[in-house]
Amino acid sequence: MLRRELSDSDWELIGPHLPIGQYGPYPEHLRDQLEGIIWRFRTGSPWRDVPEAFGSWSTVYDRFAQ
C-alpha cells in the first residue's frame, strides 16, 4: 500500500478547484492522479515509474500538464 500525502480535509479544500475536462479525467480518479503527481515530485522518479495505484503514468502526467 502506498503512503498518501493528502488528508481528507486537504482534499476537501483542493478537489473543487481542479479542472475537469469534457471527456475526463473522471472526478473519482482526480485524487489518485494528484497523489501520483505529489509522489513523483516527492521521490524525484521519472514519470514512467509512477505506481499503477495512481493510474497510468501517462494519465498522471497529462493531469500534471493541465
pLDDT number for residue 5:
84
pLDDT number for residue 24:
61
User: 6-38: per-residue pLDDT in tens?
Assistant: 888 998 998 888 877 666 656 778 899 999 999
Rounded Cα distance, 4 and 37, in Å: 11
Amino acid making up residue 39: W
pLDDT at 2 over 80: no
Q: Domain limits of the chain? A: 31-66
pLDDT average, residue stretch 52-66: 90
Cα-based torsion angle of the residue sequence 11, 14, 45, 4 in order, rounded to the nearest 10 degrees: -10
In three-state secondary structure terms, 26 is coil
User: 45-56: per-residue pLDDT in tens?
Assistant: 999 999 999 999
